[in-house]
Amino acid sequence: MSNVLILAEHENGRVKKSAHELLNIGQKLASQIGGQVEAMVIGQGLNDLIQDLGSFGAKKVYAVENAQLTKYNTVGFAKALAASVEQAKPSIVLVSASPLGKDLLPRVAAKLGSGLANDVTDLKINNGKLLATRPVYSGKALVDVTFNTDLQLASVRPNSFGAGEPQSGQTAQMVPVAVDLGTLPAMMKELVQGKSDRPDLTEAEMIVSGGRSLKSADNFKILFELADVIGASVGASRAAVDSGYAPHDMQVGQTGKVVNPKLYIACGISGAIQHLAGMRNSKVIVAINKDPEAPIFTKADYGIVADLFQAVPLLTTEFKKLLQG
């Protein structure tokens, strides 16, 4: 069938924004191939999630209710997604290019013998087939990928597409999916949540990020103050993490998290290649650095040659004035 099926990730009883983005681009693709967008969800207590997915455009939601899948499990989730695909028979499957999606989708593609494009940033329909654009060589080039298989799988980088708006009164048909998990070789015993209540860096629309020029972990507070005012998440360069100024889960870059926000403010970051690989696709980049020759300025839309300890508090003050009217 010419339908698009998306995997809806959820956390703490709420559908993640990345799933709403997948529904939005899924609707556009489905309309071009004469189908509809559908979703699948895995876990327990899924009713509220199904209603949410329906309000964002899912016509059907394939639900795998299983106590063994309340926490992520690669083998179990792969069996659940493969079973849903076999039942729904879509032509396109979209999954977020989150850690879960990147881990899960290659196994499902191998299981179903389908083509796969990972970490794509643009999707189109060309001659009835999916045409996926993905960055390569640390984001220095883009390649277009098309498929030779009838079933086409892609993981989509968060923030590549808008999320659309929920429509009141719009509902989805729930379709239960039975899965024989068998004996799973491993189970997750505990999931330790991060201490921050800010959006994860990979899904954040705005990020304030700091480098080794912050000089200490305490000095990151000026970044958090700015982030609090504009509703941003806070990241760090590898140099700052290696220096002990920030934890690894804040690291942006090739060896950290690849981000794709609308606004990225780089404070005291020189612009090493591995850092640029993780943030170069940000929609608007603002760089603050005392060194006018810093490589980060070659990628920045706006550059401020200044001491970050003076410039960042000034930005915080001015944003407060603007947002308070």
How would you list the strands of the sheet with 141-145, edge to edge? 122-126, 129-136, 141-145
Paired with 266 in beta bridges are 209, 287
- Average pLDDT on 23-39 reads 97
- Average pLDDT on 272-285 reads 92
Lowest mean pLDDT among 4-13, 29-38, 46-55, 180-189: 180-189
Structure tokens at 80: 């659940």
Give me the pLDDT at residue 111, please. 95
Residue 325 or residue 101, greater confidence: 101
9-32 b/e (C-beta count within 10 Å ≥ 16 → b): bbeeeebbbbbbbbbbbbbebbee
Residue 251 clears pLDDT 70, i.e. is over it: yes
Residue 137 clears pLDDT 80, i.e. is over it: yes
- Average pLDDT on 231-248 reads 95
Predicted TM-score of the model (pTM) = 0.86
Give me the pLDDT at residue 194, please. 67
Residue 196 clears pLDDT 80, i.e. is over it: no
**43: enclosing H helix or E strand:** strand 37-43
- Average pLDDT on 171-175 reads 96
Residue 325 clears pLDDT 80, i.e. is over it: no
